[in-house]
Amino acid sequence: MDLTTVYDVPADALIKRLSDYIKGNVTQVQPPEWAAYVKTGTHVERAPLDPDWWYVRTASMMRKLYLKGPVGVSRLRKDYGGRQRRGVRPAHFRKAGGNILRSIFQQLEAAELVTKDGTKGRVVSAKGRSLLDAVSGQIKRELDRERPELKPY
């Protein structure tokens, strides 16, 4: 029995694999037509260059919910925010835009991967937890095959 969880695999590998899975298999998660033109917050200068950025953000949000949930939009705005450069004036932190995060939450709820936890925020549902654990298990098995000397760790 494999008990691999999100904690046992590298974040970048999990997010890449999960975003590919979501893009191909979860029909409820689709970028809206405005996603190609929108900035992710006031601190960035341009829209994302990666055409699949919506799925990457979705996978990243699911991982954050698994690790830190229940989480709300306000806390994720802070997590995805960044430094706004202001020319000759000192830079300041700015939160990310909330509509993107809210839209992704609503799509994940429609796919039954995330549920609301009262007024505390959202948490990964049993279906979502199962998906994350399954993807983590695949990654862990591949890493064990590639680097058998690291298997005891």
Q: In this predicted model, what pLDDT tens digit does every residue of 86-121 receive, in sequence order?
A: 899 999 999 999 999 999 999 999 988 899 888 888
CATH among 3.40.50.300, 3.30.830.10, 3.30.565.10, 1.10.10.10 for 14-146: 1.10.10.10
Query: In this predicted model, what pLDDT tens digit does every residue of 25-55 receive, in sequence order?
Result: 888 889 999 988 999 888 888 888 888 899 9
Tell me what pLDDT residue 60 has: 92
User: Which of 35, 42, 37, 38 has its CA nearest to residue 95?
Assistant: 42
21 φψ region: left (φ > 0), alpha (ψ -120 to 50), beta (else): alpha
In sequence order, the 6+-apart residues with CB closer than 8 A to the CB of 94 are 41, 42, 43, 81, 82, 83, 84
Terminal Cα distance for the chain, rounded:
18
Which whole-number Å values give the CA distances from 65 to 54, 56, 58, in the listed order? 16, 14, 11
Give the pair of three-digit tokens for residue 114.
């995330």
Residue 93: Cβ within 10 Å count: 10
> Burial level of 31, CB count in 10 A (0-12/13-18/19+)?
buried
Give the pair of three-digit tokens for residue 133.
């654990």
Dihedral of CA atoms 52, 17, 59, 64 in degrees, nearest 10, equals: -150
Average pLDDT over the chain, rounded to an integer: 88
Residue 34: Cβ within 10 Å count: 11
Tell me what pLDDT residue 91 has: 93
Residue 56 confidence (pLDDT) above 60: yes
